[in-house]
A and B are shown apart, each in its own frame.
Chain A
Amino acid sequence: MAGEKNGATADPFEAFRKVRDTYFEGMSKVMIDAVNTEEYAQATGTLLNNYLTASAPFREAMDKAMVTALEQLSLPSRQQVIALAERFTNLETRLDDLDAKLDRIVELASRSPVATTGPPGERTRTSDAGPKSRQQTGGKH
C-alpha cells in the first residue's frame, strides 16, 4: 500500500522472493550442519582416497612414459628441471646474503671517521642504498 501511495507499483514477485530467501536460509543451516559431521568427513575422505588409489597406476605409467619420451628427445625431465630450479633458489639466497653483508659493510664504512671526513662526493650514502633495479609496477599485477 505504501508503495502504491508513493506512485510505485507493487512487485508481484516480492512474496515469492521472501519464500525463496527463507528456504535458502533454512537450507543453508541444514547444509552447514551436514558438512560439519563425521559422516561427511568420512565420505569425502573415502571419495578422495578412492580417486587417488584408482588414478595412481595411470599417473605412474604416464610419468614413466614421459621420462622415457623426454630422454629420447634429449630434453630434461620434470625432476631435472625441479633440481635446477632449486639450485637457482639457493643461488638467489646466497646472493641475498652477500647483498646483506655488503649493506652492512657500506653502513659501517659510512660511520667510520675516514668516510665522514672525506670529500662529500666520495661519501657513502646509505639513504640511497635501495636497489638500483627498482621496477615501477603500479597498476599492474
Chain B
Amino acid sequence: MAETVSLSNDWTVLDRKLKTFNRLMTTKAAIAQTPKELIWTLNKAKLYRYVPVVPAEKRYPVPMILIFALMNRPTILDLRPGHSFVEYMVGKGYDIYLLDWGVPGPEDSNLKFDDYTLDYMPRAIRKMMQVSGAKEFSMLGWCIGAILTTIYAALRPDDGLRNLVLLTAPLDFSNREQLTFSRWTDERYFDLDKVLAAFGNMPGEMIDFGAKALKPVENYITNYLKLWEGLEDPRVVEAWHSMNTWVTDIFPMAGGAYRQLIVDFYRNNRLVKGELNIRGELVDLKRLRANLLNVIAEGDHITPPCQSEAILPKIGSTDTEVYRVRGGHIGIMAGSGAHKQTWPHIDSWLADRSR
C-alpha cells in the first residue's frame, strides 16, 4: 500500500515537472519590466530613459548611458523585477538611459562601427544630455558595447564623458591561443566574404551556435539537466526562464560591423595596435581620459580576461581600476551573485564620481 502511494507521488512529481518544463520551453518570461520612456529613435536604434524613483534632489546629477552588444537584446541589463541591474541603479539614484540598437534589417547590412560610434552614439548622447540637463555623463559598455564605448571615448574625449565602465571588454586580440573565436574565424578556414555575400547580415543563429559551441556540453546538456533537477524550486525556475527568454531572443548582426569585428579586431587587432581607422580618424587610446572601471570576469570563455587586461597601459586616464569578478561573461551581471558583487561595486565606484 505504502509503495503504491509512493509511486503515485512520484508520478505526480514527474507530471508537475514535465508541465513546468514544457512551460519554460514554450513561453517567454516577462523581462525588461522596469518602467521607461522612449526619448529618441534613429533607424532601428532607440534611446530609453528609465523613470526615476528617487526624488530629483537626491539623484546623482551625472546621467549614465548603457550600451550593450550588437547581436543580443540589452534586456539582459533589466532581466526581471528584483533581479535587474537597471532597477538596482535607478533605485540607487542614478539617471539611467539605455541605447537599444534594435534588430538590423537587410537595409542595414552596411552599418559599421563607424556608423554606430559616430552617427548613433553622439546623437543619442546629445539627446540624453538635453533631457537630463547635465554637462557630463557616464557610460557603461558591455561586450561589443565595450568596444563601441572605448572607440567613442577615444574619438570624442571632450564630449563630456566623465566615467567609463567597461564590462568584459574584448579589446586586445593578440593572444590568439586563448581565443577560440580567433581560430574559427581565421582567414584560412572562414570565408567571411562568402558568408556575408550569402546572408547580408550575419545570421543570429550562426552567432548563437558559435557562442554555445565554445562550451557544448554545458550549453546543450548540463544546462537542461540542472534545470530538471531544480524544477521544483520556483527561484530556479523563474531565473532560468528569464535567462532562457533572453538567450533565445537572437537576431542578426549588421554585415558591415561583423566584417569589421572579424577583420579589424579578431584578425588584425587594430585597436590595441593603434591602427584602427574609424571614418578617417585613427583611434588613439591615449586620448581616452575618462575615469575608467574595467570589470573582468575571471571565468569568461567568450571574452577571456587577457582581452580586457591590456587596455590600461594604453589609455590616457589617470583614474583607473580593474575589478575582477568570479563568474562568466553574462553571469557577472545577470547571475545570482551579481547583486552582491558586481552591481554594488559599480555603484560605489560611480557614486564618488557622479556628484
Chain A residues packing against B (C-beta within 8 Å):
20, 24, 27-28, 31-32, 35-38, 40-42, 44-46, 48-49, 52-53, 55-56, 59, 78, 81-83, 85-86, 89, 92-93, 96, 100, 103, 126-127, 129-131, 134-139, 141
Name B195's contact: one of A52, A78, A93 (CB within 8 Å). Answer: A52
Which residues of A are found within 8 Å of B36, using beta-carbon distances? 137-138
CB distance from A5 to the nearest CB of B (A): 21
Given that A93-B119, A96-B123 are contacting pairs, would A131 and B40 also be in contact in the complex, using a CB cutoff of 8 Å? Answer: yes
| Alpha-carbon distance between A45 and B133 when the two chains are bound, in angstroms | 51
Chain B window 318-333, contacts with chain A (Cβ cutoff 8 Å), 1 for yes, 0 for no = 0000000000000000
Closest chain-A Cβ to B261's Cβ sits at a distance in Å of 17
CA distance A130 to B107 in the complex (A): 30
A56 to B, closest residue via Cβ: B198
Q: Which residues of B are in contact with A by a Cβ distance under 8 Å?
A: 31-43, 48, 51, 75, 105-107, 119, 123, 126, 130-131, 133, 180, 183-184, 186, 188-191, 194-195, 198, 213-218, 221-222, 225, 301
List of A residues within 8 angstroms of B38 by Cβ:
134-135, 137
Interface residues of A, dominant DSSP: helix
The reply to whether A131 and B180 form a contact with Cβ atoms under 8 Å apart is no
Between A and B, 29 residue pairs with Cβ closer than 8 Å are A24-B222, A27-B217, A28-B222, A31-B216, A31-B217, A35-B213, A36-B183, A49-B191, A52-B191, A52-B195, A53-B194, A59-B198, A78-B106, A81-B107, A83-B107, A85-B105, A89-B43, A89-B107, A92-B41, A92-B43, A96-B42, A96-B123, A134-B39, A136-B37, A137-B48, A138-B37, A139-B33, A141-B32, A141-B75
Distance between Cα atoms of A78 and B36 in the complex (Å): 35
How far is A41 from B215 in the complex, measured between Cα atoms in Å? 15
A25 to B197, CA, bound (A): 40
Are A103 and B218 CB-contacts (below 8 A) given A35-B180, A89-B107, A134-B38? no
Q: How far is the CA of A68 from the CA of B39 in the complex (A)?
A: 42
Q: Are B189 and A45 touching (Cβ within 8 A)?
A: yes
> Complex Cα distance A20/B225, Å?
10
When the two chains form their complex, are residues A130 and B215 in contact, meaning their CB atoms are under 8 A apart? no
Give Cα A134 to B188, complex, Å. 50
- Contact partners of B31 in chain A: CB under 8 A: 141
Task: List the B side residues contacting A138 at CB < 8 Å.
Answer: 33-37, 51
Q: Which residue of A lies closest to B30 (CB)?
A: A139
Q: CB-CB < 8 A to A45: which residues of B?
A: 184, 186, 188-191
Q: Which of A55, A100, A136, A137 contacts B126 (CB 8 A)?
A: A100
Q: In this complex, what residue of A is CB-closest to B184?
A: A41
Q: Nearest Cβ distance between residue A20 and chain B, in whole angstroms?
A: 8
A103 (CB) vs chain B CBs: closest residue = B130
- Ranked 6 nearest A-B pairs via Cβ: A138-B35, A45-B189, A85-B107, A28-B217, A141-B32, A82-B107
Residue with the greatest number of chain A CB neighbours at <10 A, chosen from B183, B215, B225: B183
Instruction: Identify which of A28, A46, A93 contacts B189 (C-beta below 8 A).
Output: A46
- Name the one of B34, B130, B189, B214 contacting A42, with C-beta atoms under 8 angstroms: B189
Most buried by A among B39, B107, B180: B107
- Best-buried of B36, B105, B130, B225 by chain A (most CB within 10 Å): B130
Complex contacts, B37 vs chain A, CB 8 Å: 134-138
Task: Output the nearest chain B residue to A17 by Cβ-Cβ distance.
Answer: B229
CB atoms of A38 and B215 under 8 A apart: no
Of A27, A48, A86, A137, which contacts B190 at CB under 8 A? A48
Collect the chain B residues with CB atoms within 8 Å of residue A136's CB: 35, 37
A48-B195, A49-B194, A100-B123 known; A32-B214 Cβ under 8 A: yes
- Give the nearest-CB partner of A84 in chain B: B107
- Distance between A114 CB and nearest chain B CB, rounded to angstroms: 22
By a CB distance below 8 angstroms, the chain B residues around A83 are 107
Question: How many Å from the CB of B10 to the closest CB on chain A?
Answer: 12
A28-B222, A55-B198, A137-B48 known, 7 other contacts, Cβ within 8 Å? A28-B217, A45-B189, A89-B42, A100-B126, A134-B37, A134-B39, A135-B37
- Please indicate the chain B residues that have their CB under 8 angstroms from the CB of A24 in the complex: 217, 221-222, 225
